[in-house]
Amino acid sequence: MVVIAFSEPIGDREFKVKLLMEIITRKPAVKGKEWRTITYNMNRYIFDHGLWDTPYYFYRDEDCHRYFLSLIKGKTFRKPEKLSSNVMDGQRNEGNKTFTLHSKPNLQKCLSKAAEIEQQSQDEYWRQEYPGVDEFF
């Protein structure tokens, strides 16, 4: 008996962060060429990092978009704080505020920012489709 698994979910944290950073950077439209670029980059990433045996985990940009939507589905997000690219490991205390610095992007902050960008893209898409109903956005 042979079992072939298609599109097993990739649970690698670095993969998820990479996808979210691609979305944050490219600000993809709902139906736009940016998703093709993100899909290509993510397929290369999972193949180059040995997470998938071929560079075709996502066959279409819609598959990559759907995977992203599955990451944010059912979650509620607060407006994210500004992401800093120049943070180092350790702790710092500024006044009464104590926080931990990380050398890698925070997954929750990336999820929040990517979800915010997705919402903006959805709103813009529907504004263009139905320009007369602007008050709903």
What residue ranges do the domains of the chain occupy?
13-82+102-136
> pLDDT tens-digit profile of 16-72?
999 999 999 999 988 788 999 999 999 999 999 999 999 999 999 999 999 999 999
Residue 39 Cα distances to 1, 62, 78, 112, angstroms: 33, 9, 27, 20
> pLDDT tens-digit profile of 99-110?
555 566 788 899
pLDDT above 60 (res 91)? no
pTM: 0.70
pLDDT above 80 (res 124)? yes
User: Residue 6, exposed/middle/buried by CB under 10 A (0-12, 13-18, 19+)?
Assistant: exposed
Report the C-alpha gap between 56 and 65 in whole angstroms.
15
